[in-house]
Amino acid sequence: MTWFANVHGGFEGPEGWAEQPALGLVDDLPEPAEDPPPFRRSLVLSGDSLPEGHDPRSYVALQKTLLGGTLPGFSLIAEGVPEGEGMAGVLCYQVVPPSGDALVQRQAYFFREGRVAVLTLTVRGDAPGDADEDFGRAVESFVFAG
């Protein structure tokens, strides 16, 4: 497996995925390179301070509202409250950008001492690969930095 870490935390990703410094991991491109390059599955780790006036669950609810209002072709597929210390929610949704190629994103929200970390897996809607396994491994292995 491939370990990734940045200022927000770290997680275990699929074997052979390439690091994108400070952002996360992307699957390797086949050789020879195509032009334009094909879509690459990715796992990205971002984070921030928990906004004043929000607890973890209200933050996840706010994100769902914001995503629905800003992403083209947003459609919620599933949501849940996972078991696990520091986790407050998981969202799975589809986005259909102007190109017409549906993308599926899964986000896990982790909280600790006023901090939030968001782990996002993005795959093509018609070619998810091992999305369930890849996301599950990353979520289970997640640790906060510092």
Q: Tens digit of pLDDT for each residue in 97-113?
A: 777 778 899 999 999 98
Handedness of CA 76, 103, 20, 28 (dihedral sign): positive
Beta pairing partners, 45 = 119
Q: Rounded CA gap, 105 and 89, in Å? A: 14
Residue 109 to residues 43, 67, 70, 77, Cα–Cα distance (Å): 13, 14, 19, 17
Reported as a single tens digit per residue, the pLDDT across 2-46 is: 999 999 999 999 998 999 999 999 987 666 566 665 667 899 999
Which position has the token pair 């390059």? 37
56 three-class SS: helix
Could you tell me the pTM of the whole model? 0.88
The structural domains of the chain, ordered by start, are 2-144 (3.40.1000.10)
